[in-house]
Amino acid sequence: MINRQFIFILCILLPNIVLGQSRKTYTPREMRQDIDSMVKYLQEAHPNPFYKYPKSSFLKDVNRVKNNLHRNLDKVGFYLAIEPLLGNLDDGHTDLHISQFYNSLNPIVLPYNFKLSTQKPFISCQGTYTGVKTQLPPGAEIISINNIPAPKIVNDIIDLNTGENRLFRAEFGATRFYFYLEALYKANGICHIKYKSKGLVKNITLKGIRKNVLDKMANEQAGGNGSSDPVYSLQLINGNETAIINFRSFDWDGFKAFTDSAFRVIKEKNVQNLIINLINDGGGSSDVGDEFFQYILDKPFTQYAKVLEKNSALLKVRLREHRVGKSLDSADKVLLAKSNGSLDTNYYGKIPITDNPLRFNGRVILLVNIETYSSAADFAQCFKYYKRGIVIGEETGGLIKSYGDIVTAHLPNSQLELSVSSKLYYNVGTDENDWRGVTPDIFSSPEKALQRALEYIKAQKKTH
């Protein structure tokens, strides 16, 4: 199984406002040791970490960071110092993570959703968290926060995220916007915001809420189930003529039961149009995509043409961890016997089509955006390559030739978790220079993509 789950990182320690907890710090010597370990793991496990950013420039940056470590730093301070090193590599699967550490601290959260962009409006309000009273108007353009201009905030956040393009890094950074307000700008839970709404410029002061309080509110809103937003959902519209399947991630948990149920309903209701919504889908297991294609394709297929794999000690450690309590098979033994640092290229054959009475043969439309990533982008490329339907939205953030299948290690002193890509995937239909996302047939903003799909369906009805 190819697990290309995009690592959605919850960064981060809230400085100066966590009460009753000791703040462990690390000496410059310890941090330099950790940086050396990070560089070592990166070069040992990644097929080519410097595919875009020159190795000489990277090592120069590393030395600069090491030379600027003159005092003890806590974990978040150390993270802020070294994360930009990985950001320069343009690989969203190679990253540092401190989510468990962060979650244990019960930080203060600014309970608003924001959209970040590389062009104006750089920051806009998308609304509040569930259950929180709105004070900042949805759609408001943020001019500054605590007197820090919006363009600077966005650029600072881009520098602290990994990914193949700056827009994706901005939009992904928006998912943990409150962290940056605290870690970078020491907001201490209070944000003085200057914004523009309906042509008027106004000022407002917002106060954050403790994370455990927000979690309790969200759980109550979900009726005690812990989540009100399922991974998969089906919606029928236009008198059951059109079905919409929403994917939040390519997660196996509940997938088979959902797809059987959904396509049974689609068949019973004689649905003519299917819209598959992969907007903001960060990926997961590519096997989910393979299984889903069994419901919409009628000929053999493959999502991948080939994969280049780097053999390393970390890859072998991952294999042994996955096989704890199980016997090693012949393929496992072959991998463990390979020389660390060697490269293998594997080619993919087509997957046969199985008998499936629930297969859908009607019109299919796929919705994507810049945050369609990893296995979700792989699915989109396969969908487009085999001409199953049209793609509407933005170019995907996930590339059709990209690194993935992470191995992990912990830096020896700070214990920051490092993930490193171990493989280079070539999607079906990919050329050597295809460092790009899946391009849509009809371009649209994520907010209008569904409407564009419905307009397309209506137009097609008129022509037939």
Of 201, 221, 241, the residue that ends a domain is 221
CA angle, residues 450, 455, 459, in degrees to nearest 5: 150
Measured in whole angstroms, the distance separating CA 267 from the mean position of its chain's CA atoms is 33
136 domain-assigned: yes
C-beta of residue 132 within 8 angstroms of C-beta of residue 209:
yes
* pLDDT tens per residue, range 259-292: 999 999 999 999 999 999 999 999 999 999 999 9
pLDDT > 90? residue 65: yes
456 domain-assigned: yes
Same-domain pairing of 167 and 297? no
284 DSSP assignment: B
| Both structure tokens of 111 | 């309970």
Same-domain pairing of 198 and 178? yes
C-beta of residue 18 within 8 angstroms of C-beta of residue 82:
no
How far is it, in rounded angstroms, from Cα 110 to Cα 135? 12
Residue 454 lies in domain: 232-303+348-400+436-463
Provide the number of structural domains found in the chain.
Answer: 2
- Find all residues with CB under 8 Å of 324, minimum gap 6, and list them: none
What pLDDT is recorded for position 106?
84
* pLDDT tens per residue, range 357-395: 999 999 999 999 999 999 999 999 999 999 999 999 999
pLDDT > 50? residue 21: no
C-beta of residue 291 within 8 angstroms of C-beta of residue 258:
no
Of 221, 241, 258, the residue that ends a domain is 221
Terminal C-alpha separation, the chain? 42
Same-domain pairing of 137 and 244? no
Average pLDDT, the chain: 91
- Find all residues with CB under 8 Å of 179, minimum gap 6, and list them: 10, 11, 12, 14, 102, 107
pLDDT category at 198 given cuts 50, 70, 90 is: very high
Q: Which residues of 389-409 are buried (b: 16+ CB within 10 A; e: fewer)?
A: bbbbbbbbbbbbbbbbbbbbb
What pLDDT is recorded for position 293?
98
- Find all residues with CB under 8 Å of 80, minimum gap 6, and list them: 160, 183, 184
pLDDT category at 102 given cuts 50, 70, 90 is: low
Q: How many helices (H) and strands (E) does the chain have?
A: 14, 21
| Both structure tokens of 407 | 């191995």
How far is it, in rounded angstroms, from Cα 37 to Cα 388? 46
- Say which range, 218-227, 311-320, 410-419, 446-455, has the weakest mean pLDDT: 218-227
Same-domain pairing of 352 and 459? yes
73 domain-assigned: no
| Secondary structure class of 425 (helix, strand, coil) | strand
Same-domain pairing of 277 and 180? no
User: In 10 A of CB 134, how many CB atoms?
Assistant: 10
Of 189, 221, 253, the residue that ends a domain is 221
How far is it, in rounded angstroms, from Cα 330 to Cα 335? 9
Max Cα distance, the chain (Å): 72
pTM as predicted:
0.86
Same-domain pairing of 267 and 389? yes
